[in-house]
């Protein structure tokens, strides 16, 4: 199976670029037809004359030009209830997260980024990748400490998500068994929506963020901007972390099971009581941590996701 990539993707798509390189060693063919999609969160690829698209953007709907030209359109944020995604050629993917693929990126695309991208955009792309972790298929190691880490943004147009995060942060700060680190990230415009008391002045680079998340007893997952899935989810499950989650606003090919691979809650009132249960029940905590890692290894690795995509071309 020969895989041809037609555009220069950006770091949003690095996880899937890594998977394609590991599974099928794709070839790059600079295409004028798809040059407007260079340095964006798409991978446009061709297999046996059929065109596929992997779309890693926030759930604002499919790109109509690419949808019309493609045979299969895969999205990481196939948000529920959006008519743009409820079409026959649109397929959901499992959660992913950006990674550092600079060496593979330069090997695959060669001199083309120098020739096809603005110098400033090329430098920004390499810098963005440099901040991301290298991908490793982590070995499961149980972490049962009382340390909890959470650092997140206050989103101007997502008041419910902000409320969920604030409730989680406050519940962790109030729990006598928890050694909490983190809080909300300060906004440049100073509009903190009444959550100034939950701000954390420290900023974490992606690699430090991943390291502290690895140590955290609980990872809190909620729908991100416009209902998108958080990059934190897949990275946390790869690290074997316990994930406490609100329901997904996006379609997944398969969902992790509550009580086996994830702990799901449906209301603000459940946050505090769930945290208390998790802190006091090590066996359940270990079960979910391990189950989430097994789910990730079965469905979410770059190789597994690329094989999932390529099966549509058989």
Q: Model pTM greater than 0.85?
A: yes
How high is the pLDDT of residue 130? 95
How high is the pLDDT of residue 1? 80
52 Cβ neighbours under 8 A, 6+ residues apart: 44, 45, 46, 70, 71, 72, 73, 74, 309, 312, 313
The mean-pLDDT minimum among 58-72, 225-239, 262-276 falls in 225-239
152 close to 219: Cβ distance less than 8 angstroms: no
C-alpha separations of 215 from 150, 199, 201, 219, 274 in Å? 11, 21, 20, 10, 19
How high is the pLDDT of residue 143? 80
> Does position 191 have pLDDT exceeding 90, yes or no?
no
> Does position 203 have pLDDT exceeding 90, yes or no?
no
Mean pLDDT to the nearest integer, 260-288 = 96
How high is the pLDDT of residue 91? 98
Report residue 225's pLDDT band, with 50, 70 and 90 as the boundaries. Answer: confident
> Does position 188 have pLDDT exceeding 90, yes or no?
no
> Does position 21 have pLDDT exceeding 90, yes or no?
yes
pLDDT tens-place string over residues 151-160:
988 888 888 9
102 close to 126: Cβ distance less than 8 angstroms: yes
Report residue 211's pLDDT band, with 50, 70 and 90 as the boundaries. Answer: confident
CA–CA distance, 57 with 48 (Å, rounded to integer): 26
> Does position 226 have pLDDT exceeding 90, yes or no?
no
How high is the pLDDT of residue 142? 87
How high is the pLDDT of residue 248? 94
CA–CA distance, 251 with 223 (Å, rounded to integer): 12
How high is the pLDDT of residue 164? 93
> Does position 206 have pLDDT exceeding 90, yes or no?
no
């Amino acid at each position: 199976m020969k895989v041809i990539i037609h555009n220069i993707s950006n770091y949003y798509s690095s996880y899937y670029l890594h998977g394609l390189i590991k599974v099928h060693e794709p070839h790059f063919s600079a295409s004028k037809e798809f040059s407007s999609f260079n340095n964006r969160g798409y991978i446009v690829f061709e297999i046996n004359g059929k065109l596929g698209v992997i779309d890693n953007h926030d759930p604002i709907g499919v790109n109509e030009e690419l949808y019309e030209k493609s045979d299969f359109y895969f999205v990481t944020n196939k948000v529920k209830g959006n008519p743009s995604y409820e079409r026959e050629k649109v397929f959901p993917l499992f959660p992913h997260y950006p990674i550092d693929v600079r060496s593979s990126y330069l090997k695959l695309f060669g001199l083309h980024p120098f020739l096809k991208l603005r110098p400033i955009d090329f430098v920004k792309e390499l810098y963005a990748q440099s901040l991301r972790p290298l991908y490793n298929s982590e070995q499961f190691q149980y972490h049962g400490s009382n340390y909890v880490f959470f650092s997140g943004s206050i989103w101007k147009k997502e008041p419910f998500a902000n409320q969920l995060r604030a409730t989680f942060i406050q519940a962790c700060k109030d729990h006598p068994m928890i050694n909490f680190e983190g809080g909300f990230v300060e906004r440049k415009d100073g509009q903190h929506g009444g959550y100034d008391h939950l701000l954390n002045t420290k900023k974490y680079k992606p690699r430090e963020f991943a390291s502290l998340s690895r140590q955290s007893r609980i990872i809190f997952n909620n729908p991100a901007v416009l209902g998108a899935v958080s990059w934190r989810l897949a990275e946390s499950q790869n690290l074997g972390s316990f994930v406490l989650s609100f329901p997904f606003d996006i379609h997944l090919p398969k969902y992790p099971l509550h009580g086996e691979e994830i702990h799901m809650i449906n209301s603000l009132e459940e946050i505090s009581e769930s945290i208390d249960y998790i802190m006091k029940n090590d066996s359940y905590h270990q079960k979910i941590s391990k189950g989430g890692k097994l789910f990730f290894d079965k469905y979410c690795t770059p190789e597994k996701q690329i094989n999932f995509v390529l099966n549509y071309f058989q």
